[in-house]
Amino acid sequence: MEKKNYIVAIDIGSSAIKIAVGSIAPGGAMHIECIVSEPCQEMEAGLVNNINLVGVALRKALKAAEKLAGIAITDAYVSVSGKFMRCARYTDHVFVTDSDNCISQQDVRSLHDRMRNVKAADNEIIMDLFPICYKSEMGVEMKNPVGSYSKQLNATYNFILCEKQAKDRFQRLFMDAGIKIQEMFAGASIISESVVTAEEKEEGVAVVDIGSGVTDLAIYRGGALCYMVSIPIGGDSINSDIHHYSGQIPLSSIEGLKKEYGSAMVSLASNMTINIQKGTRTIATIQSLNLAAIIEARLTDIVEYVWNEIREANLAKKIPAGIVLTGGVANIKNIAELFQRVTGVETRVACAELGLTTESLEEATSPERTMVISLLMHGAQKGATPVGVLQTPHEEIPAKVVTNVETEEDKTQEQPKTLNDKLGGNGNTGTKVTDTTTLKNGGGDEDEEKDDLDTEEEVAPKRSLWGRFTHSLKSSFDRAFQNPDEDYDDDNDEY
């Protein structure tokens, strides 16, 4: 295993578990070692419903990632998304300790410590918190408060909250898989790392990640995450609508159908008949315009949900950098045009590209990989992930047959004639030994040795009539197996 600063990221999605392993290149960029994706079942809107089935998918993904990266994964950064995640704002203040009312770094730390002591509701826990803005006692916003003059320092913090039950399920999932969670993040809070620049965050931008079961929205303003929400709707709803329209289309074929022929806008779709085949047989047909109408209707619902969240956060007019779309559903043609038509805001589709090495850009060509790559980037800021040495299974070494080599000294030694002599005992020990050596046809020394054994065994059986009978019968069978072609007459045997 090469000595590298590895980062391991695991994104638990509604339909798949993605694992990315990266390393920090000499220039500081992220080099992607591998990305694997494993379909998983029993995830509903990002929440684990069946820990056993999800655990099977996680272990399969871990095994594949370890094989590709050549490391043993023991720790990882984790991202989750779902309706069990939300954000909340809280405002507090501290009095400046300096007699001249000059704000110091200690004042900022004191305010942060006060925020860390804020308690969440009984059924929630605080996953993360960070400042949105600082203000003076007069309400003047301060970008960098250290060095500014004010009698008190006010701040508004954004708290990322998660339901306890949901987090407990994820922790148990990874504990069962033998993985230590370095830190767990809300997907919406880290999605921007690889698709949005610092200038766009400062100016104001909304990032929308549309997955299979959850749509994550993150809004940045002034360089800080001002608002985030996970909306429990995604691409699975579109697939379900298509399946209900034409029950003859298998669910397994809908995802490919949607990506290859689908359009988010009927007005921009081509008019053609699409044949769904199973082998050489056509099992269903659908018009491309009908397919586009189904997709447009459901996507319009998603766009409106997103736009309502932006407006309710009072940020509709504070995102001049526009809307950035990513996630698996962003692969649908003309989706950016649909968002722009409904919201009136400039929209683009983005894949992960910021902070990656040139060689790694090929691994990031699909929007559905943006989340796990962004998690890699965010984890790199926190620190490298401990990894182990991958233990490859050793090949079985065939057992070697050891043959005793007879020496001249052995030849001169007296050879034992009886079985008891071979075992180093005497005939009076009373121990019965069963010989399990396979019999072979032939004569010579082997026959002589067998005769010796028979002579030794004649002592005990002949003590009684029944013993004489069994001994004679055994001797007959032995001679028959040793000389199968020889006619044998046992008329002279005594009973």
Tell me the pLDDT tens digit for each residue of 310-358.
Answer: 999 999 999 999 999 999 999 999 999 999 999 999 999 999 989 999 8
Least confident range of 112-116, 177-181, 279-283, 365-369: 279-283
Average pLDDT value for residue range 184-199 = 94
pLDDT exceeds 50 at position 66: yes
Average pLDDT value for residue range 130-143 = 91
Average pLDDT value for residue range 438-454 = 43
Q: How many CB atoms sit inside 10 A of residue 264's CB?
A: 25
Rounded to whole angstroms, the Cα distance separating 126 from 408 reads: 84
pLDDT confidence of 432, banded at 50, 70, 90? very low
Q: At 255, which helix (H) or strand (E)?
A: helix 251-261
Q: Are 238 and 338 in contact (CB under 8 A)?
A: no
Which residue in 152, 178, 164 sits closest to 62, CA to CA? 178
The sign one gets for the Cα dihedral 326, 331, 336, 341 is negative
Rounded to whole angstroms, the Cα distance separating 112 from 324 reads: 31
Task: Specify the 3-state DSSP secondary structure of 132.
Answer: strand
Instruction: Determine what percent of the chain is predicted with pLDDT higher than 90.
Output: 61
For 166, residues 6+ apart whose C-beta sits below 8 A from its C-beta are: 47, 48, 80, 82, 84
Angle ∠(108,315,88) on CA atoms, nearest 5: 50
pLDDT digits (tens, 9 = 90+) for 89-103: 999 999 999 988 999
Say if residue 431 is exposed, middle or buried (CB neighbours under 10 Å; 0-12, 13-18, 19+).
exposed
Where do we find the tokens 């720790």?
Answer: 75
How many alpha carbons fall within 13 Å on the CB side of residue 214?
A: 26
pLDDT exceeds 80 at position 433: no
Task: Specify the 3-state DSSP secondary structure of 263.
Answer: strand
